[in-house]
A = this chain, B = another copy of it.
């Protein structure tokens, strides 16, 4: 019996999510290079192999080392290369096919000077997200970096890598579609512009909302969705999935009830769920509450939502009928707002069959 906050994993839903994305990529003749930062688990990683996945994405050198040690031979680190880790990168590049991401002359020059093993190299390209990367339409800057890469012996230029993270700030699936189209056009124009000098340029495209909602991957040599392995309440909010697709839920014990304000207190706080949230009707929403029966949660009915979080406490708002049916000592399940951050905090999974699945610590 569970007695503490526990991250449950529905393997069937997880496999269905993997299969769905793998099939869509296959039908589009696009490589599916899933981002493993969501689950960070060797075991869950191994499930992808049954769907033909051989190439993966991670977001840190530490994660690359972990998955390389667990049998993965083709890994892209989709994060602006941290040159302070050059020696680990170099060592890893001597063992597996390692790809990195650069976006400055300084980084290219430093790595070329220090690396002794070849690494595949993408230029991080910004199609409007505005987090990091070279703007896709800044051809001058792109050309400067490409000319530098041309002179490199160990940095092997592959192409342009883009994460259209602005899909997370949208209010409709039309907006997500429009970001995907705009990103595609910008990346293809860039590729065409550079085609004379760099005829084999690849395009690597990311983000779960657009890759989940749409199936037209034309122009993308690979897609890198990560979150779609589990999905979460942010994705249901964006329209990328339904509650039924979410493959993880946090089981939490009920520890107190407040009748006058219809609030239920659970053991399950910011150290379990993270503080990522959605604004729903101007209210902060840290997760959807559903019923839990032993290790199985039931998404038929939403019985409340997480309205506040402190370190260990979760404060749940519940309509009267559900409030009356919940007792101290019961367990309820939370569909998390951000499954990547929840998994990262929980450090292990318990499947709905009771198996414990470890992850990177």
Give residues in A with beta carbon < 8 Å to B. 1-4, 37, 59-62, 79-85, 88, 103-104, 106-107, 110, 124, 130-133, 165, 253, 255-258, 261, 265, 267, 270-271, 274-276, 308, 310-313, 315, 327-329, 331, 340-341, 344-345, 347, 361
Interface centre among A2, A81, A275, by most B CB within 10 Å? A275
Closest 4 CB pairs between A and B?
Answer: A3-B84, A80-B255, A275-B275, A80-B256
Collect the chain B residues with CB atoms within 8 Å of residue A84's CB.
1-4, 253, 329, 331
Min C-beta distance of A297 to chain B, whole Å: 17
In the complex, residue of chain B having the shortest beta-carbon distance to the beta carbon of A81:
B255
In the complex, residue of chain B having the shortest beta-carbon distance to the beta carbon of A1:
B84
Min C-beta distance of A12 to chain B, whole Å: 26
Q: Is the CB of A311 within 8 A of B341?
A: yes
Q: A4-B62, A84-B329, A165-B310 are in contact. List 16 more A-B contacts (CB 8 A).
A: A2-B84, A4-B60, A4-B85, A60-B312, A79-B267, A84-B253, A104-B257, A107-B256, A107-B328, A124-B256, A131-B313, A270-B276, A271-B341, A275-B275, A311-B344, A347-B361
Min C-beta distance of A183 to chain B, whole Å: 17
| Given A311-B37, A345-B345: A106 and B276 interface contact (C-beta under 8 Å) | no
Collect the chain B residues with CB atoms within 8 Å of residue A104's CB.
256-257, 328
Min C-beta distance of A34 to chain B, whole Å: 15
Min C-beta distance of A46 to chain B, whole Å: 22
- What are 12 A-B contacts with C-beta separation under 8 Å? A1-B84, A2-B84, A3-B82, A81-B255, A103-B256, A106-B329, A107-B255, A110-B328, A132-B256, A133-B256, A311-B340, A311-B344
In the complex, residue of chain B having the shortest beta-carbon distance to the beta carbon of A130:
B261
Min C-beta distance of A81 to chain B, whole Å: 7
C-alpha gap A37/B65 in the complex (Å): 31
Residue from the list B82, B103, B276 in contact with A267, Cβ < 8 A:
B82
| Given A82-B253, A84-B1, A255-B82: A267 and B60 interface contact (C-beta under 8 Å) | yes
In the complex, residue of chain B having the shortest beta-carbon distance to the beta carbon of A62:
B4
Q: Is the CB of B59 within 8 A of A131?
A: no
In the complex, residue of chain B having the shortest beta-carbon distance to the beta carbon of A312:
B59
C-alpha gap A64/B1 in the complex (Å): 20
Min C-beta distance of A348 to chain B, whole Å: 11
Collect the chain B residues with CB atoms within 8 Å of residue A308's CB.
131
In the complex, residue of chain B having the shortest beta-carbon distance to the beta carbon of A85:
B3
| Given A104-B257, A341-B270: A79 and B312 interface contact (C-beta under 8 Å) | yes
Min C-beta distance of A337 to chain B, whole Å: 10
Collect the chain B residues with CB atoms within 8 Å of residue A103's CB.
256
In the complex, residue of chain B having the shortest beta-carbon distance to the beta carbon of A315:
B131
C-alpha gap A62/B346 in the complex (Å): 14
Min C-beta distance of A86 to chain B, whole Å: 9
Min C-beta distance of A276 to chain B, whole Å: 6
Collect the chain B residues with CB atoms within 8 Å of residue A107's CB.
255-256, 328
